[in-house]
Amino acid sequence: MALSFPEEVLEHVFSFITSHTDRNTVSLVCKSWYEIERWCRRRVFIGNCYAVSPGIMIRRFPEVRCVELKGKPHFADFNLVPDGWGGYFYPWVCEMSRAYPWLEEIRLKRMVVSDEGLELVSKAFKNFKVLVLSSCEGFSTDGLAAIAANCRNLRELDLRESEVEDLSGHWLSHFPDSCTSLQSLNMSCLSSEVSFSALQRLIARSPNLKTLRLNRAVPLEKLSTLLHRAPQLVELGTGAYSAEARPDVCSNLAEAFSRCKELKGLSGFWDVVPFYLPAIYSVCSRLTSLNLSYATIQSPDVTKIVTQCPNLQSLSVLDYIEDTGLNALSLSCKDLRELRVFPSDPFVADANVSLTEQGLVAVSEGCYKLQSVLYFCRQMSNSALTTIAKNRPNLNCFRLCILEPRAPDYLTLEPLDNGFGAIVENCKQLQRLSLSGLLTDRVFEYIGKRAKKLEMLSIAFAGDSDLGLHHVLSGCDSLRKLEIRDCPFGDKALLANVSKLETMRSLWMSSCSVSLGACKRLSQKMPRLNVEVIDEQGDLDSRPDSSPVEKLYVYRTVAGPRLDMPSFIRNMAQNPTYMR
């Protein structure tokens, strides 16, 4: 009889394996490893909440402490997913409240959370520590009050970019005096004013507070008071950054900032009054992360700040920075890894600022650690893209948004196929790509051939025919998420690559040329995919198979058709006119 390796030892070894993909791989080695692994898995990540059910998760992983769930498709961020689509948290928290009494952390993205759900979280999990609600909606400040009042060991409350029904700022006052465990608080998305004295006292009794992101309602004059009570802060999001120009207030603020020796990240900066910008100069040299993407300050002011931040790794700005500012950035910030440039006036046709492709070229030349780019601009050329690609083969995320759909190379008036082709050819580790501008099927041929590590691809107003989609589905070996809007892609490419879709997390296609009949056929061929047609015109049952669908969302699942679809979404496997 073979001696088996003691379980305890294997468990101990597994505890060093933290990445989800690695743990998944470990569980596939053999049955006993599968068993051992599932009992000691503490963190579960579910990228699509409908790919699996709460019951299945709980059955397989009985001792989980941290759950991360994602709901709506990414294009929901841009209003392409109708209200009522789904992504409800409540069914999950109901079952978890029974199965995981020792649950500590919940992280949700693009899910619909209710006050009842939050109340249940606050009461069911005695050791609850971390709540991150990213781009979520459906709850109010009453739900937050329950969390504040009942979670005795709360470490982190992060509401980043969620839509909260803001009834009042009173929720913050529900943190009991005994709560001293807070390390991270992000309330930047809320609009109501909280009681300043409650906030002040909360900060004063939280010695481990490292991250504090205030909301716009916290006035600038009071910021120094808060900073005095939390000089240990590592990340700060200011409130509104405006006040009457008073030198004494400014010097107080500067002094308070200078006491924060650990400060590495700054954000906030709504309603900026340039008079108060010098107050942050003393911390600039330590900053690794700076988010000025809501600050409506002009190029000289922005440039003055970034050129004082030699250790900057991540920068978000508005296009007010202009090419000159980006040039200065490329000379001063040699450690830059991530750059995001947002448009200040996206709905005006003509450029309101002097930001062109040259700014990005400059950064690609000077910042040799640059990995991640999100860039909104009004003009681009193949030669600029090729230069960027050759400068920065280490790019892993490249998202370019030329504001005008189908805009060609502004120098040659050709499509931008070659430019993006150069990107995928040179940047061999590219994991995420967003395309824009005038593009033919050729760019997809390049992507299919070369982008072997690409995991997420976003396409809009591009391509000529099904061939484009076919190149991507048949060529991109690592593709997990594909989202497409307003492209002439249709049935042929989809039906020629049905099995590919089971290797991916999800496919989104809206305003394309996919027919109802093709969706039915896809669903028939691939029973483990949910093929969901979203159509708000209301007559899906009576439409001919040849009619195009508005929106299509296809994802792999082991949970079968979902039961919470609104009337305007149909799962093609449940099509009443279709008989097996």
Residue in 179, 217, 403, 467 binding other proteins, rule: CB under 8 A: 403
- Which of residues 75 and 420 has its CB atom nearest to other proteins in the complex? 75
Residue in 348, 411, 496, 563 binding other proteins, rule: CB under 8 A: 348
For the CB of residue 295, give the shortest distance to other proteins in the complex, in Å: 9
**DSSP structural state of residue 2:** P
Report if residue 211 touches other proteins, rule: CB under 8 A.
no
For the CB of residue 536, give the shortest distance to other proteins in the complex, in Å: 12
- Which of residues 116 and 161 has its CB atom nearest to other proteins in the complex? 161
The piece of 146-154, 220-228, 326-334, 399-407 that touches other proteins (CB under 8 A) is: 399-407
Residue 434 Cα distances to 323, 399, 482, angstroms: 22, 4, 10
| Burial (CB count <10 Å: 0-12, 13-18, 19+), residue 191 | exposed
Report if residue 84 touches other proteins, rule: CB under 8 A.
no
For the CB of residue 460, give the shortest distance to other proteins in the complex, in Å: 7
- Which of residues 193 and 271 has its CB atom nearest to other proteins in the complex? 271
**DSSP structural state of residue 291:** E
Q: Which of 417, 469, 423 is nearest to 448 (CA)?
A: 469
Q: Enumerate residues 518-577 that contact other proteins by CB under 8 A.
A: none
CA distance 62 to 341: 44
Residue in 1, 2, 349, 558 binding other proteins, rule: CB under 8 A: 349
Report if residue 376 touches other proteins, rule: CB under 8 A.
yes
Report if residue 166 touches other proteins, rule: CB under 8 A.
no
For the CB of residue 325, give the shortest distance to other proteins in the complex, in Å: 14
- Which of residues 258 and 298 has its CB atom nearest to other proteins in the complex? 298
Report if residue 16 touches other proteins, rule: CB under 8 A.
no
The piece of 54-62, 123-131, 302-310, 339-347 that touches other proteins (CB under 8 A) is: 339-347
What are the residues whose beta carbons fall under 8 Å from the beta carbon of 286, sequence distance 6 or more?
A: 261, 263, 264, 311
For the CB of residue 270, give the shortest distance to other proteins in the complex, in Å: 6
Element containing residue 254 per DSSP (H, E): helix 247-258
CA distance 509 to 273: 43
- Which of residues 11 and 77 has its CB atom nearest to other proteins in the complex? 77
| Burial (CB count <10 Å: 0-12, 13-18, 19+), residue 563 | exposed
- Which of residues 399 and 480 has its CB atom nearest to other proteins in the complex? 399
Q: What angle do CA 273, 274, 276 make, to 5 degrees?
A: 80
Report if residue 405 touches other proteins, rule: CB under 8 A.
yes
- Which of residues 230 and 240 has its CB atom nearest to other proteins in the complex? 240
Provide the b/e sequence for 336-357 (b: ≥16 CB within 10 Å): bbbbbbbbbeeeeeebebebbb
The piece of 344-352, 471-479, 501-509, 564-572 that touches other proteins (CB under 8 A) is: 344-352
- Which of residues 200 and 293 has its CB atom nearest to other proteins in the complex? 293
- Tell me, by CB under 8 A, how many residues bind other proteins: 36
Pattern 292-331, other proteins, x by CB under 8 A: -xx-x-x---------------------x-----------
Residue in 350, 539, 558, 579 binding other proteins, rule: CB under 8 A: 350
Residue carrying structure tokens 């050329």: 381
For the CB of residue 389, give the shortest distance to other proteins in the complex, in Å: 22
Give me the phi and psi of 284, to 5 degrees please: -55, -40
Report if residue 346 touches other proteins, rule: CB under 8 A.
yes
Residue 527 Cα distances to 513, 520, 521, 561, 578, angstroms: 23, 11, 10, 10, 14
Beta-strand (E) ranges in 241-309?
265-267, 289-291
What are the residues whose beta carbons fall under 8 Å from the beta carbon of 454, sequence distance 6 or more?
A: 424, 430, 431, 432, 433, 447, 476, 478, 479
The piece of 14-22, 92-100, 340-348, 531-539 that touches other proteins (CB under 8 A) is: 340-348
Residue in 39, 45, 270, 410 binding other proteins, rule: CB under 8 A: 270
- Which of residues 90 and 342 has its CB atom nearest to other proteins in the complex? 342
- Which of residues 122 and 215 has its CB atom nearest to other proteins in the complex? 215
Element containing residue 308 per DSSP (H, E): none
Residue in 163, 262, 502, 536 binding other proteins, rule: CB under 8 A: 163
CA distance 338 to 390: 18
Provide the b/e sequence for 365-374 (b: ≥16 CB within 10 Å): bbbeebbbbb
For the CB of residue 534, give the shortest distance to other proteins in the complex, in Å: 14
For the CB of residue 208, give the shortest distance to other proteins in the complex, in Å: 29
Q: Enumerate residues 123-162 that contact other proteins by CB under 8 A.
A: 135, 161
Element containing residue 39 per DSSP (H, E): helix 31-40
Pattern 47-76, other proteins, x by CB under 8 A: ----------------------------x-
- Which of residues 50 and 508 has its CB atom nearest to other proteins in the complex? 508
For the CB of residue 495, give the shortest distance to other proteins in the complex, in Å: 27
Report if residue 343 touches other proteins, rule: CB under 8 A.
yes
Q: Find out whether 207 and 179 touch, Cβ atoms under 8 Å.
A: no
Q: Enumerate residues 170-199 that contact other proteins by CB under 8 A.
A: 189
| Burial (CB count <10 Å: 0-12, 13-18, 19+), residue 489 | buried
What are the residues whose beta carbons fall under 8 Å from the beta carbon of 190, sequence distance 6 or more?
A: 141, 159, 164, 166, 169, 215, 217
Q: Find out whether 96 and 103 touch, Cβ atoms under 8 Å.
A: yes
CA atoms within 13 A on the CB side of 579: 0
- For residue 5, the tally of other CB atoms under 10 A from its CB is 12
Q: Enumerate residues 225-264 that contact other proteins by CB under 8 A.
A: 245
Residues binding other proteins (CB under 8 A) = 75, 77-80, 135, 161, 163, 189, 245, 270-271, 293-294, 296, 298, 320, 342-352, 376, 401, 403, 405, 434, 458, 460, 485
